[in-house]
Amino acid sequence: MRKPRLGRIAGIALVLAFSLIAHPANAQFSNATGKVAGTAGQACVSATNDYAWPDTNGNILKCVSNVWTIQGVTATAAGSTGYVQFNSSGAFGADSNFFWDNTNKRVGIGTTAPATSLDLSAESDGLKLQTIAAAAGASCTSTYQGAIRYNSTSNNVEFCNGTNWSFLAAGASSCGAPSGLSFTNQTGVALSTMTISNSATITWSGCSSAEAVSVTGGGSPQISINGGAWGTTGAIYSGQTLQAKLTSSALASTLLTATVTVGVSNTYWTVTTAASCIVTIGTVCADGSIYAGITPDTSVPMYAAPCDYGMTGSAGSCTGTRGQTYWSVGNSATGINSWVTGRANTLALHNDDGKGNGPYEAADWCYNLSGYLGHSDWYLPAEGELDLLYQGYSAIGGFSSGAQYWSSSENGGYTPNAFYETLSSGGQGPAPKGYSYDVRCVRR
């Protein structure tokens, strides 16, 4: 078989090339990629040109009535006029609850007739604002003037006036912003302690009427106006004083916040408890009481007063004359003989004072320490709790060596007697209720 000649092959190629030139309408595009064959709006010959490759703007051109014309994709909008379009599973979607009023330039949520720039009036679920904690969020500056937010700590809506975040008021007031509305934050406070703020003098100008005042927050806060009764709401006049109080947390190193509001302005007052003193028996806590160990009944911390009955002072520095007192006047049975619930024993004995066997002097002394070191739950320890004081005798300190200390536990086997313990040696036993012994009060 003879090989084809090169001249014959070249001839066939030339014939094909001339054929394509003579019949350009047979090609889909009239030029190569990147070579613009036409420009939108310019003349072309419809009889010989069909489509052009994309022009410099990326448009596909078609020769229509001898003019290069951009070819586009036609899509049909969903819904009615004004419905905002969104992607609905790859297609255009729309809903009457999301509407654009192009004439008035307004957005309607839940309405097709918005009356304001943003109209949510037809919705029943409300507008949810940005939520912030009282101690967080942007500072109120001129940048944020007019902004609103929800304060999740005080459960109030606030607005920024360019200087301070203030609560929205139910009605307008002609009174100026109050001056002096500030309280000193307190730290290192004892656990579960009633804490009172400094006294702030509140003044304003622009009116002579009273302004509403209120307090919210943790620790059951209250306010006192001009030294009056404590409460959560009231009215204050310019020039009067204002104080706040709350009960500190029962947990160590814990902050509680009270929000005090006068008119439409507010301030925050914080009370932070001290770090835990429940480390080693004998540790002196922030309130002056002494950690004595864990109670035998509920395994909670127990604290001892720093001084014995009749004395005052602080741990390691008690002054005055140590006193002794009797358990009770009468010898009748009380049935109060628990070895572990000294608080309950003390309350029961105090409540029994007027029934012929009282007064129960030792228990009453501890009960009446209400407010001592900021606490109102002092009691005469039960025998099992008194034994904790023996175990921590040296670390707790301030005891009388060789002295007997009363417990709040009656001797159930022989009711004229109650139990005592010699804390320096640990010796325990019953003794007649009329004997005079030492007393050291405790609390939990």
Domain with CATH 2.60.40 in the chain: 186-273
pLDDT at position 156: 67
Instruction: Return the SS3 of 150.
Output: strand
Query: What pLDDT does residue 167 have?
Result: 66
Cross-strand partners of 418: 410, 431
pLDDT of 57 = 72
Four-residue CA torsion sign, 230, 233, 236, 242 = positive
Give CA–CA dist 413/86, Å, rounded: 86
In our burial notation (b when 16+ CB lie closer than 10 A, e otherwise), range 56-82 reads eeeeebbbeeeebbeeeeeeeeeeeeb
pLDDT at 403: 97
Question: What integer pLDDT is reported at residue 15 of this predicted model?
Answer: 35
Tell me how far apart the alpha carbons of residues 393 and 403 are, in angstroms, rounded to a whole number: 12
- Tell me phi and psi for residue 242, to 5 degrees: -140, 130
pLDDT at position 26 is 34
Q: Note the pLDDT of residue 279.
A: 76
**Per-residue H/E/C for 108-136:** EECCCCCCCCEECCCCCCCCCCCEECCCC
Specify the pTM: 0.45
CB 257 within 8 A of CB 217: yes
pLDDT at 153: 60
Mean pLDDT by 10 residues, the chain (444 residues): 40 35 39 56 80 71 86 78 91 91 93 90 74 56 80 69 66 71 90 92 87 95 96 94 94 91 93 84 91 89 96 94 94 93 96 83 95 93 96 96 97 93 96 97 96
Fold of 186-273: Immunoglobulin-like (2.60.40)
**DSSP 8-state code for residue 419:** E
The pLDDT assigned to 37 comes to 61
Lookup: tokens for 378: 């002092």
